[in-house]
Structure 1
Amino acid sequence: MKTIPVSLLLCGLIALAPVAWGKILLPSGATQSAAADNAVAGPRRVPARVLPVPGDVSKQLQALIRAPYPANVLTPPPNTNEAWAALDKQFNMDWSKTLAELRKSLKVSVEPATIAGVKAYIVTPAALPSSNRNRLLVHLHGGGFVAGGGEAATTEAIVMAGIGGFRVISIDYRMPPQAPFPAALDDALTVWEALAQTVKPQNMAIFGASAGGGLALATVLRAKDEGLPLPAAVAALTPWSDLNKVGDSYYANEYVDNMLVTWDGWLAASAQLYANGHDLKDPYLSPVYGDFKNFPPTILTAGTRDLFLSNTVRVHRNMRRAGVFADLNVYEGMSHGQFAGPDVPESREIFEEIARFFDARLGQ
């Protein structure tokens, strides 16, 4: 029997593709409409679609994924300084019971402190491993730079202390409307400088999520620019690294992310309130535009449905281009910040990953 050359077989398949494969892969309806809408080069137009809840994530995360949008996320943002200030106060009140339960379940204590004139909290696990006694983490909270202060600032610090076994200083930095940019950055740098005089910088790391993740990156960028000692490692969880609506996931995950939902509205207003007239491309506001040369090793975390996925990915690529060791972790189905609860397996996994990353890089 004569053997048919593989090259001819492939050519035959390719020749048949428009007829045979087209009938299979191009059904009527949405697919043909999408093909027509994208027949010429330009912005991608997608048909209305329903995204199923992923079946290969934990049941706890599935519950978060199928949850409705937050109650007020699509309402107009505050339009007075008093209303913005009330927002942070309400946020803190809403979190008080949750934080008490979180401290108890993770066996963590929280004490208020003042470091170089800046409000902070000292977060300590009941069982501090001997390997971590000379180590310290510095934490910067999220909340869009306009909320999450007071005790609410300690949420991720409690989880990190409880799961990772680290002592954490959580900075309760000043926020607008009373104290816009660069107040938060000034507070973070002030605390960092003070701590670096009492604890070896090579024994410390800085971490934060969302606005806190962006602020953590900006703090290290500024410390580097000013010739200050740098931490041994950094963790930025879904960092708000570009305050403007720049990045693919701001569009691709719009109304898919069931936490932030969209940049338009609250996020845009928070960015402008915090920036206080400064250019949003200032690297100390949007650290994705910073110079990452000689930046410490960094672990970055986001989710596939996260509005800030591109914020995270773009920082990772810029770090790699600068020669920085950067570890990118993206979690299936996760929207923005769906990792604060230690009862969610993926959440525990995230903080365990960060703890291992720190443990491998911090001195003793």
Structure 2
Amino acid sequence: MEEQKVAKPQFEANGDVRVPAFVLPVSPLLSEQAAAFQRMRATMPAFDAAGEGLDVIARREQINTFMAPQIERLRGMFPVNIDRTEIGGVEVLDVTPADGSHDPDRVLINLHGGAFTVGWDGVALVESIPLAVLAGYRVVSVNYRMAPEHKHPAGVEDVAAVYAELLKTNAPGRIGVYGGSAGGALTAQVAAWLPAHGLPQAGAVGIFGAGGVPFHAGESAWTAGYIDGSFPPPPADGSELEDITRGYFESVDERNDPSAWPGYHLETLATFPPTLIITGTRAMDLSPAIFTNSQLLKAGVRSTLIVGESMGHCYHYQVALPEGRDAVDQIIAFFRENLN
């Protein structure tokens, strides 16, 4: 019987790697539910992650429609009160357990995902409802300004305004900030912004599905593009990467502006509070998360990195999967330990 030859990667002189086509099997380390979800993806319709061809208003409506069934399920699982109001002149959703049992002395600020262009309020509710009930916390989700109408630092300014108002009734060490995807990146920006603008640092921050550097930084944008497929890989021909933020960081000097990407600046990271970072092995944000965690440790900050096996972008949204629930449980434990 002729021995089957296995294709091997080819290493170019400039360090590039030509990766042969291969089949990635379902990980044996997954829960039965997550493995079933991976198999089910073969029959799921593709979702346009970039919203190609849609104007931003239509895209926002599309995202909220897509999230609506999940929000309905979550509200059935986790009964909450949702108060749409303003704090510091910024629209927020004030989410608390329906039974009124939340901790009166601690509050979480949620920053929703959505590529700095969409996500209010569908993604905001998916991120806020489970934590409010499972943690027993008040969660204030912020409708920060987004592109294409606004540019950085509009979003972080809005979060700082809400934070400053909450400081009137809450100790800074008992306020936590967290977000997923764009909201995770914005959380890193908030941690950099507060002490740089005369505000006391928050008690702890959670950067989920993101890092303190751009999403395209590092090799995970490539691997996730071909393995997970939720977001396309960078163009193979070296052409300019599509800007899914619709110009939100248009005027930012990527490497030299710590208010936008603090992961490149150790002196800025040194001002961070305890930080929890969550990503997955199939997530486009894996490289930014790993790099940011390493930089925080180098800066002397207590940082914890959780990487979900075979998990994709913001897998903590999937609280019905054991892996997603495990991530949420660790988020709760982290804030309970550090908001004191």
TM-score (norm 1): 0.83
Which shifted more, 92-101 or 67-76?
Answer: 67-76
Q: Which amino acid aligns with 1:92?
A: N
- Which residue does 1:102 correspond to in 2? 74
Alpha carbons of structure 1 residues 70 and 206: separation in structure 2 relative to 1, 3 Å: farther
Q: How does 1:42-81 map to 2 (within 5 A)?
A: 42-66=15-39, 67-68=41-42, 71-73=46-48, 77-78=52-53
Of 84, 87, 108, which aligns to 1:115?
87
Which shifted more, 324-333 or 335-344?
Answer: 335-344
Displacement of 1:127 in angstroms is 4.4
Q: Which amino acid aligns with 1:271?
A: T
Structure 2 residue matching 1:328: 3-state secondary structure: strand
- Which residue does 1:15 correspond to in 2? none
- Which residue does 1:16 correspond to in 2? none
Say whether residues 1:134 and 2:134 are aligned partners: no
CA distance in 2, matches of 1:178, 1:41: 40
Structure 2 residue matching 1:269: 3-state secondary structure: coil
Q: Superposition RMSD on alpha carbons, in Å? A: 2.5
CA distance in 1, matches of 2:145, 2:319: 28
Displacement of 1:205 in angstroms is 0.6
Q: How does 1:191-210 map to 2 (within 5 A)?
A: 191-210=162-181
Alpha carbons of structure 1 residues 182 and 41: separation in structure 2 relative to 1, 3 Å: closer
Alignment check: 8 A CA contact 2:147 2:246 kept? no
- Which residue does 1:237 correspond to in 2? 208
Q: Which amino acid aligns with 2:194?
A: A
- Which residue does 2:287 correspond to in 1? 310
Alignment check: 8 A CA contact 2:228 2:312 kept? yes
Structure 2 residue matching 1:242: 3-state secondary structure: coil
- Which residue does 1:29 correspond to in 2? 5
Larger radius of gyration: 1
- Which residue does 2:149 correspond to in 1? 178
Alpha carbons of structure 1 residues 206 and 76: separation in structure 2 relative to 1, 3 Å: closer
Alignment check: 8 A CA contact 2:211 2:288 kept? yes
Displacement of 1:160 in angstroms is 1.2
CA distance in 2, matches of 1:280, 1:73: 27
Q: How does 1:76-95 map to 2 (within 5 A)?
A: 77-78=52-53, 83-95=55-67
Q: Which amino acid aligns with 2:228?
A: D
Unpaired stretches in structure 1, ≥5 consecutive residues: 1-26
- Which residue does 2:254 correspond to in 1? 280
Unpaired stretches in structure 2, ≥5 consecutive residues: none
Alpha carbons of structure 1 residues 74 and 316: separation in structure 2 relative to 1, 3 Å: closer
Of 217, 221, 236, which aligns to 2:192?
221
Structure 2 residue matching 1:253: 3-state secondary structure: helix
- Which residue does 2:317 correspond to in 1? 340
CA distance in 2, matches of 1:347, 1:266: 34
CA distance in 1, matches of 2:142, 2:287: 26
Alpha carbons of structure 1 residues 272 and 287: separation in structure 2 relative to 1, 3 Å: farther
Alpha carbons of structure 1 residues 44 and 112: separation in structure 2 relative to 1, 3 Å: same
Say whether residues 1:187 and 2:158 are aligned partners: yes
Displacement of 1:144 in angstroms is 0.8
Displacement of 1:72 in angstroms is 4.4
Which shifted more, 274-283 or 42-51?
Answer: 274-283
Say whether residues 1:293 and 2:270 are aligned partners: yes
Of 170, 182, 196, which aligns to 1:211?
182
Alignment check: 8 A CA contact 1:211 1:240 kept? no
Alpha carbons of structure 1 residues 103 and 60: separation in structure 2 relative to 1, 3 Å: same
Alignment check: 8 A CA contact 2:144 2:155 kept? yes
Displacement of 1:174 in angstroms is 1.6
Measured against aligned partners, the alpha-carbon deviations of 1:246-289 in whole angstroms (never above 9, x if no partner) come to 21212233211232243559983223521133223333333322
Q: Which amino acid aligns with 2:15?
A: G
Alpha carbons of structure 1 residues 85 and 75: separation in structure 2 relative to 1, 3 Å: closer
Alignment check: 8 A CA contact 2:224 2:231 kept? no
Structure 2 residue matching 1:300: 3-state secondary structure: strand
TM-score (norm 2): 0.89
CA distance in 1, matches of 2:82, 2:246: 32
CA distance in 1, matches of 2:121, 2:271: 33
Structure 1 residue matching 2:83: 3-state secondary structure: strand
Q: Which amino acid aligns with 2:58?
A: A
Which shifted more, 275-284 or 144-153?
Answer: 275-284
Alignment check: 8 A CA contact 1:103 1:109 kept? no
